[in-house]
Amino acid sequence: MKHGVSAFLVAIAVGGVASILLPFLVSGYVDGNRQSASPSYVTSGKCSASQMSFLAGAKEYFGIYPASVRQPIAFPHKIHVKNGMPCETCHAGVDEGQQAAIPGAAVCMTCHQVIATNKPEIKKLASYYRKGEEVPWRRVYWFYPSAHVDFWHGPHIRAGVECQSCHGDMRKETVAVRKAGLNMGFCVNCHRSRHVSTDCTTCHY
């Protein structure tokens, strides 16, 4: 009996792998890119669903996200939180839509026109702003495209989920680092404990 089950599973696995590989091997899995020499006054280039190096592909496959990213300015979250600024002040729209906004230079400069203008990091910020450039912040929290996840902040905040449940205690942090793994287990555990839908299409579509 047990052997029968495992043989069946092996058969499924072999069949599954074979069915993935066969089309690749038989051809057909050619990249649909038609390279054409277009003149310089029109746009060239292709954008495709997945566009990474082998290493990045491997990371995506195993669901490994970088824990920390190097930011252009060493932004201290803890100072801002300590001064009594709620998260929504800068991460505007977080209660409305899917993503939270990453504040632009213009938002920072509303205060930093006058506050702490002599600090080296603020000088960096001001120099971006003077050139009419945005601070090239890098995203800390995101999902790989192959996660096929559509996450909305709004409903979570309305349900009373604290920001720190997923993003860590920002009272102690300088630049943000990815605290929670934010993998599917993390999400489903919380959904289960709060008795909300764990149907796949709640998040994956």
Q: Give backbone dihedrals phi and psi of 32, rounded to 5 degrees, phi first.
A: -75, 10
Residue pointed to by tokens 């309305």: 158
What is the smallest separation between the CB atom of 88 and another protein, expressed in angstroms? 9
User: What's the CA gap between 165 and 153, in Å, rounded?
Assistant: 12
- 36 vs 193 by CB, closer to another protein: 36
Which among 171, 172, 199, 168 has a CA at the least distance from the CA of 181?
Answer: 168
Angle at 168 between CA 167 and CA 174, to 5 degrees: 95
What is the smallest separation between the CB atom of 194 and another protein, expressed in angstroms? 9
What is the smallest separation between the CB atom of 87 and another protein, expressed in angstroms? 7
Return the SS3 of 148.
coil
Which among 109, 120, 131, 142 has a CA at the least distance from the CA of 73?
Answer: 120
121: left (phi over 0), alpha (psi -120 to 50) or beta: alpha
- 57 vs 179 by CB, closer to another protein: 57
User: What's the CA gap between 126 and 106, in Å, rounded?
Assistant: 10
What is the smallest separation between the CB atom of 79 and another protein, expressed in angstroms? 16
- 157 vs 175 by CB, closer to another protein: 157
What is the smallest separation between the CB atom of 78 and another protein, expressed in angstroms? 14
